Chain A
Amino acid sequence: MPSVVIHNVRELRERYEKVLVVGEGAYGRVLKATERITKEIVALKSIPLCSGDKEGFPISTIREINQLKTFNHNNVLSLRYLLLVSDTKEGWATCSRSEAYLVFDYVPHDLTGIISDPGILMNEASIKSYMQQLLTAVVHVHSFGSMHCDIKSSNVLVKYDGTVKLADFGLARFKNPNPNVTYCNNVVTRWYRPPELLLGDNKYNEKIDVWAVGCILAEFMDRRPIYPGSDEKDMCARIFSMMGVPTNSTWNNVEGLKLYRVMTSGIAKGPSLRDHFASFRGFVVVDLLEALLQIDPNKRISAEQALRHPWFSQAPEPSKSALKLPTESRNESWVKKQFAEQEKRRMQSHQQQMLRNGNRKRSIDTLNASQPPPKKQQKITNTVRYNGHTITNTIH
């Protein structure tokens, strides 16, 4: 894979025509751009090189490049080029606006967008195909002794023809052969974080990715995230109320984990996973889901075993093209825009209602005050949901 060095911003502009900013995160921005010569649409992930911490080229980017160069798989988004852009002619000035760009193929959709678009009707064949492709990608990644550490629906991109591309290896890392090595606990976006991480384990393994895949499958079935916790404690409450609080007898040495006492106190028993998906009763898919969302990582199946699950060989056959995808992109930023618009509309109607209420007598207002309007309640859940999407992980 070639890397291209461009010595000033003008050259970059000559090469690529910027179309729009697709996403923004802790690392920098993702731009959609057209390559002028080949007319291909690419995604540019920009990494500023003049960050304040004076550590030079970010280590997370070094890891990402290493990971991406290792993988070569149809379902993993591959790196095309690397660009280094400096705005001084004579070389690299340390505190100039130097940037590195990772150039990827542009993939229009992601699963967040597809799942939250009410206009797209899901069918089992396509879900099966997406899950199968996602799992093959995960198996490929794991086969190199690597962990993705940030699987979530917005990092699973989908092409127009239904090909799934696993993206964003910014947190991914190779597993150390030494079993006593500890890893950073603060990985994986909160809603997809498995119980072992929530309980403060720092000797986790690649099963954390399997949990996240399970969360995505549940998201497909429900059309909303299964554990949209507002913080770590809430996440634990949601998971354990569904699965039961783990003890040493159900999960070896779980009570020795750092946050076990804090996280497992005061959890009420809620409906179990099977009750939650009661409408899918008798379907094989619930078996798979249960195996993926097993709270004990040692009992959780591996991605490879998941791929051999009978659900994938059952009718209907997995089919990439069973789902008609819209030509407009349905991705995370689209979802955010939709939320923002909904929010605006809701605020406006709320304001109008307030105005109308204000014209009435005060006594009615005080009567109403004891019962907050249901709209407000809705608003709160929505912002929580919105926040969940914007959470970006701190990279260590």
Chain B
Amino acid sequence: TIEEEKYVLNSRIVQIKGICDTMGYPPHVYATAAVFFKRLLLIHSTLEFDLLKVALTCIYMSCKVEDVQNKLCVFLDRIERNFRIGVKPHEILKMELILLEKLQFQIMVHHPFKALCNFIDDADFASSLRKNSVGDVYLES
């Protein structure tokens, strides 16, 4: 049912997050991987693919898109050591092409982080300005 699918999906996304955190990737890698994963499963049922492989492929591709250095064999080695999941490289490569095809190469993901980070920076800057000016005003009065 839909509820069950939703549950499966969410648990997989939590798993993606867990993997990304253990591997020490920056947060946008996780975010992009999650978006890829959701996009693929928007058009496909959860029963069509081996979701674990899909999840790993999403992470691997997201590293590529987000410019994080990552060698496939090293990546799989670490996965195997940390999670006891053995996946062969060629399975990932095969899945990668399917993923690219299904996503129609829409692999540019715009996250709100960037804007938010910039906004916080600006706000920090502005508030420091304001603090100073408020302080000045306070002193003057």
Q: A5 within 8 Å of B by Cβ?
A: yes
- Assess A3 versus B72: contact at CB under 8 Å? Given A62-B107, A70-B108: no
Besides A3-B104, A95-B90, 6 other A-B contacts (C-beta < 8 A): A56-B92, A56-B93, A92-B93, A92-B97, A92-B98, A93-B94
A320 at interface by CB-CB < 8 Å = no
Residues of chain B within 8 A (CB-CB) of A62 are 61, 64-65, 107
B55 CB → nearest A CB, Å? 16
Bound CA span A3–B97, Å: 13
Tell me, yes or no, whether B39 is within 8 Å of chain A by CB: no
Q: Is A57 an interface residue (CB 8 A)?
A: yes
Residue pair B108, A2 in contact (C-beta under 8 Å): no
Closest approach, in angstroms, between the C-beta of B68 and any C-beta of chain A?
10
Complexed CA–CA distance, A5 and B104 (Å): 9
Contact A94 B94 (CB under 8 A): yes
Q: A357 → chain B, closest Cβ, in Å? A: 58
B118: A residues at CB distance < 8 A: 177
Residues in A neighbouring B105, C-beta threshold 8 A: 1, 3, 65, 69, 82
Is the C-beta of B130 less than 8 angstroms from some C-beta in chain A? no
**From A5, A54, A176, contact of B101 by CB (8 A):** A5
User: Residues of A at under 8 Å CB distance from B?
Assistant: 1-3, 5, 49, 54-57, 59, 62, 65-66, 69-70, 82, 84, 86, 91-95, 98, 173, 176-177
- Whether the pair B114, A177 counts as a contact (CB closer than 8 A) is yes
- B64 — nearest CB in chain A belongs to which residue? A59
Residues of B within 8 A of A (CB): 60-61, 64-65, 67, 71-73, 89-90, 92-94, 96-98, 100-101, 104-105, 107-108, 114, 117-118
- Can you pick out 8 interface pairs between chain A and chain B where the beta carbons lie within 8 Å of each other? A3-B104, A55-B71, A56-B60, A56-B97, A59-B64, A65-B107, A84-B100, A92-B98
Report the nearest B residue to A59, measured CB to CB.
Answer: B64
Q: A84 with B97: in contact, given A56-B72, A173-B67 (CB under 8 Å)?
A: yes
A57 with B73, Cβ < 8 A, contacts A69-B108, A82-B105, A94-B90 known: no
* Given known A-B contacts A65-B107, A177-B118, A57 and B64 have beta carbons under 8 A apart: yes
- B residues less than 8 Å from A54 (CB atoms): 72-73, 89, 93
A94 to chain B, nearest CB (A): 4
Of B65, B94, B101, B118, the most chain A CB neighbours within 10 A belong to B101
Cross-interface CB contact of B96 among A2, A57, A95, cutoff 8 Å: A57
Complex Cα distance, B96 from A62, in Å, reads: 12
Contact residues in A for B90 (Cβ distance below 8 Å): 94-95
Give the complex CA separation of A54 and B108 in angstroms. 23
Give the contacting residue for B108; candidates A66, A82, A94; CB below 8 A: A66
A176 surroundings in chain B (CB, below 8 A) = 67
Instruction: Give the CA-CA distance A82 to B73 in the complex, in Å.
Output: 28
Q: For B108, list chain A residues within 8 Å (CB).
A: 66, 69-70
Q: Determine the chain A residues whose CB is within 8 A of the CB of B64 once the complex forms.
A: 57, 59, 62
**Quick check: A57 and B100 within 8 Å, CB to CB?**
yes
* Contact residues in B for A5 (Cβ distance below 8 Å): 101
Q: Is the CB of A3 within 8 A of B101?
A: yes
Docked pose: A98 CA to B118 CA in angstroms: 42
Determine the chain A residues whose CB is within 8 A of the CB of B92 once the complex forms: 56
A100 to chain B, nearest CB (A): 8
Report the separation of the CA atoms of residues A56 and B89 in the bound assembly, to the nearest whole angstrom: 9
A138 CA / B5 CA spacing, docked (Å):
47
| B residues near A69, Cβ cutoff 8 Å | 105, 108
Which residue of chain B has its CB nearest to the CB of A5? B101
CA distance A55 to B69 in the complex (A): 12
Considering the complex, give the chain A residue whose CB is closest to the CB of B114: A177
CB distance from A23 to the nearest CB of B (A): 23
CA distance A56 to B101 in the complex (A): 14
Cβ–Cβ contact B94 & A84, under 8 A? no
* Cα separation A57 to B114 with both chains bound (whole Å): 26
Please report the C-alpha to C-alpha distance between residue A59 and residue B105 in the assembled complex, in whole angstroms: 13
For the complex formed, measure the closest distance between the CB of B111 and the CB atoms of chain A, giving whole angstroms: 13
CA distance A296 to B104 in the complex (A): 43
Distance, CA A69 to CA B89, complexed state (A):
29
Q: What residues on B are CB-neighbors of A49 within 8 Å? A: 97
Complex CA–CA separation, A101 to B70 (angstroms)? 25
Nearest A-chain residue to B104, judged by Cβ? A3
Find out whether the CB atom of B98 lies under 8 angstroms from the CB atom of A94: no
